[in-house]
Chains A and B, each alone.
Chain A
Amino acid sequence: AQSVAQPEDQVNVAEGNPLTVKCTYSVSGNPYLFWYVQYPNRGLQFLLKYITGDNLVKGSYGFEAEFNKSQTSFHLKKPSALVSDSALYFCAVRGFQGGKLIFGQGTELSVKP
């Protein structure tokens, strides 16, 4: 069975500092990995995905994520955080057969001025 773990309920970062939101996964075969963001009173929005190829994936709003197969991780990163990045971030995985997307429990990112 596929699963995703986000070990941190909350991440606090000062504006301008780099940020990392952690994600580890478990799936049979090669994974398809995704990051979504949820702003208050807004729907989930796609940030980026890893399917195959380069382990460093670039996405929307300056975010990127690094796929590490040996550590089964897919951490979300941004070199310089903005206050407007404050939101809920969800990592998700699906198996190579396709089908449902399984989400982690989410990490609340708080960026302070």
Chain B
Amino acid sequence: DTGVSQNPRHKITKRGQNVTFRCDPISEHNRLYWYRQTLGQGPEFLTYFQNEAQLEKSRLLSDRFSAERPKGSFSTLEIQRTEQGDSAMYLCASSLEGVVSEKLFFGSGTQLSVL
């Protein structure tokens, strides 16, 4: 168990640029989640996958955000035409879902700063 890995750890970009983050879940986990967290707030749900299928996407998420999980392994989160309001910690989590609701394992996150 190597844990959930997120890259990069930090990303600084200029407004209007596109950014892409990567998440590598725990290998046997079939679910993968993306959350966003700003200072002093709890993680805000963005989207989640079961294997390669995207099962839910937050209505708060604009169409500038897109996520993929090809082959049901790693996932990428892309933000197009970044805005200063996108500055946040982007968290990835994975879980092994079965009969009983399982706990999420979180990565250390990618801190995005939009200048």
Residues on A close to B: CB < 8 A?
A: 4, 6, 32, 34, 36, 42-46, 49, 51, 90, 94, 98-106
A104 touches B42 (CB 8 A): yes
**B35, closest chain A residue (CB):** A103
Asked if B107 CB lies within 8 Å of chain A CBs, one says yes
- Distance (whole angstroms) from the CB of A4 to the closest CB of chain B: 8
Asked if B19 CB lies within 8 Å of chain A CBs, one says no
- Distance (whole angstroms) from the CB of B104 to the closest CB of chain A: 6
* Contact residues of B between 32 and 56, Cβ < 8 Å to A: 33, 35, 40-45, 48, 55-56
A32 touches B101 (CB 8 A): yes
> Given the interface contacts A99-B55, A105-B41, does A42 sit within 8 Å of B108 by beta carbon?
yes
A101 touches B105 (CB 8 A): no
Chain B residues whose C-beta falls within 8 Å of the C-beta of A34 in the assembled complex: 103
Q: List 15 A-B contacts (CB under 8 A).
A: A43-B91, A43-B106, A43-B109, A44-B91, A46-B103, A46-B105, A51-B100, A51-B101, A90-B42, A94-B101, A98-B97, A99-B48, A101-B104, A105-B40, A105-B42
**B interface majority secondary structure:** loop
- Distance (whole angstroms) from the CB of B99 to the closest CB of chain A: 10
- Taking a contact as CB atoms closer than 8 A, the residue among B35, B43, B56 that contacts A99 in the complex is B56
- Distance (whole angstroms) from the CB of A50 to the closest CB of chain B: 10
Question: Contact flags (1/0) for B8-45 with A, using CB distance below 8 Å?
Answer: 00000000000000000000000001010000111111
